[in-house]
Every structure is written in structure tokens, then in C-alpha cells.
Amino acid sequence: RHIILLVDNVSTHALSENTTLTNIVIKYFPLNITSHLQFCDQEIINSFKVRSKLYLFTIIVSNLMLKFLF
């Protein structure tokens, strides 16, 4: 499976020169683009939080139903 990883140009995201990634391609955003994309980050984070809470709620309800049925 091939993966493309999109990251901003923060120095902590840099890889060492001897790092070899066979199935991962890293693409860096242009400088000073993060402020333009920040609203996208919030939507992605919010969507993830909502879906994870729904998933957790579904598991809890399913376990409770099984407990009461059996």
C-alpha cells in the first residue's frame, strides 16, 4: 500500500538524511500556508471527535443491551 503524507514545514517534521521510506511519500506544504488551512484542520478534528464519540456510544449501548438480554 502506498501512502502520501502531507505535512507543514515545521522543523520537527524533518526526517534525517538516512531515513528510507519505501511506501511513504512525504510532501511538504509551502511556507506560510498553515494559516490558510487552519479552518480545514478544525473541521477534520471536529468530524473525527463526533464520529469517535458516536462509535464509543454505539459500543456502550451494544454491551448494555447484551448484558440485559442474556
Bridge partner list, 3: 24
Return the bridge partners of 4, or none: 25
Section 31-38 average pLDDT: 72
Determine the pLDDT at residue 57.
97
* DSSP symbol at 13: G
What's the mean pLDDT when you consider all of the chain? 84
Asked whether the predicted pLDDT for residue 64 surpasses 80, the reply is yes
- Say how far apart CA 56 and CA 70 lie, in whole Å: 21
Kindly report, residue by residue over 40-63, the tens digit of the pLDDT: 777 888 898 999 999 999 999 999
